[in-house]
Amino acid sequence: MAESGSGLSDPLLCLRHSIASNHPPVPTSSPDVIASDPEPNLAIATHLQFTEPSRQSFALNTPTRFVSSDKPVDLRSIYFAWQKKDVAIPDYFASAEQLNKQLSASEGAGGKVQHLVFVERLDLITWLEGASDESEYIKGLDAEATAAQATGSAQVASGAAGGIATIPSGAAGARPGKQIDPRLAEIYKGERTMGDRNSVLRGIKPTDFSHIRKTAETFLGRSRNRAGPASTTAANIASNPALVSLPKKPGRRPDPIILLSPSASSLLRMGNIKSFLDAGTYIPPDSSLAGSTSSANILHCSRLLPSIDPQRPLRFILVDTPEQFKPDYWARVVAVFTTGQIWQFKGYKWQSPPDLFKNALGIYVGWRGEDIPSTVRGWGRGVVSTQVDKWNSHAGVQGRWRDREVVEGLWGAIEESMRNRGWGKEGGPGMK
């Protein structure tokens, strides 16, 4: 719970709002929102103080709505994951282990930081930055707390509780000897104390009207049987907006995954894959023009695939190792970039290349004019082979006009492979 009653009462929403307003929260060792000093050491700090949207403080051991392994993750773990959003997964785990040792020490605040796997951490960071309004790991706000607040406001409005007490004649503070006219006293009995916005609305949100829609459907069905024409029913529904079923909000679509080769000989690595797939330009991975850091092990790019979903672009997750995969993540792997080295598939669900490329599209990218490795050719039609021009440092990106054609061909092959494997608007096979 927040130490202050004003402002947002949910720590996740407070953290997201403070990040959006560029006023990050400050760890402190006291719940006092006025006189507490900052405590940068997260192993000693006990509270997290916010200044936006209002000044308030949350205990760092407060459980949040973010759930990992069916358990709520505390605010300290959430804030620590946000602090380490730009570091690689191994460094993040090492920092978490070091922080847990400091927390368990005699001068530590106690508790333990919970590790988040790479997909959970990516989902959390995307939601906190405002790039996504939905998260499959964040539960909805507690409706009971909202209902209790609205009920209390309604009681204030009706005079059953709260409000401003009237001063009776002769009571302390009243003018001595003053008598209230009986007619005026009768009017005062019918006076109603004004409440806030929730009390004026007299409602407890959210309200479920599904039973009304079911009842209305019964009567509308009888009307169809008697009247016959469908236009009559449509007119009845249009004349009464309360009978119109609200559109069901679509759930979050699982993001497809593209695996890269961790080999140093690969032309496409984490440092240059985004510029290649997004901008259609090949830049060497060790070049400063690549745009991505080679230390990053999680990236994502978006692409509209019209034959799968003509309205919403699909967001692809780009990784070069499956070390943090859960078993169900393999169903989301749609493509694997390879150099033809079989050791790359060690640790994969399908370690045999024929089995792997029956379940995901293989992609080989080499230099134009050089021979394709015999191992790649032996894997058959499950692997798409293409070539790009060698990098010319004098021409730079201005001479890479042929790369776009190669990239468009690869996206077309990925789209066709996903469509053949059952991907649609709501996700892949078994995810809808």
Question: 144-201, pLDDT tens digit by residue?
Answer: 445 544 454 445 444 454 444 444 444 444 444 556 677 777 787 777 666 666 555 5
**Pairwise CA distance, residues 335 & 257, whole Å:** 7
Which residues in the chain come in under a pLDDT of 50?
1-7, 144-145, 148-150, 152-154, 156-159, 161-176, 230-233, 237, 242-246, 248
Peptide bond into 53 cis (omega under 30): yes
H-state helical runs in 159-256: 182-189, 197-201, 210-227, 230-239
- Strand-pairing partners, residue 27, are 48
Is the whole model's pTM more than 0.85, yes or no? no
Q: Please name which of 50, 55, 60, 125 lies closest in space to residue 89, comparing C-alpha atoms.
A: 125
User: Do the bridges between strand 314-319 and strand 299-303 make them parallel or antiparallel, or are there none, so unpaired?
Assistant: antiparallel
Instruction: State residue 18's pLDDT score.
Output: 87
> Is omega for the bond preceding 310 within 30 degrees of 0, making it cis?
no
Whole-number pLDDT of residue 202 = 55
What is the model's pLDDT at position 295? 65
Per residue in 338-390, pLDDT (tens digit) is: 999 999 999 999 999 999 999 999 999 999 999 999 999 999 889 999 999 99
d(C-alpha 359, C-alpha 95), whole Å: 36
Give every strand in the sheet of 383-388, ordered side by side. Answer: 299-303, 314-319, 257-259, 333-337, 361-367, 383-388
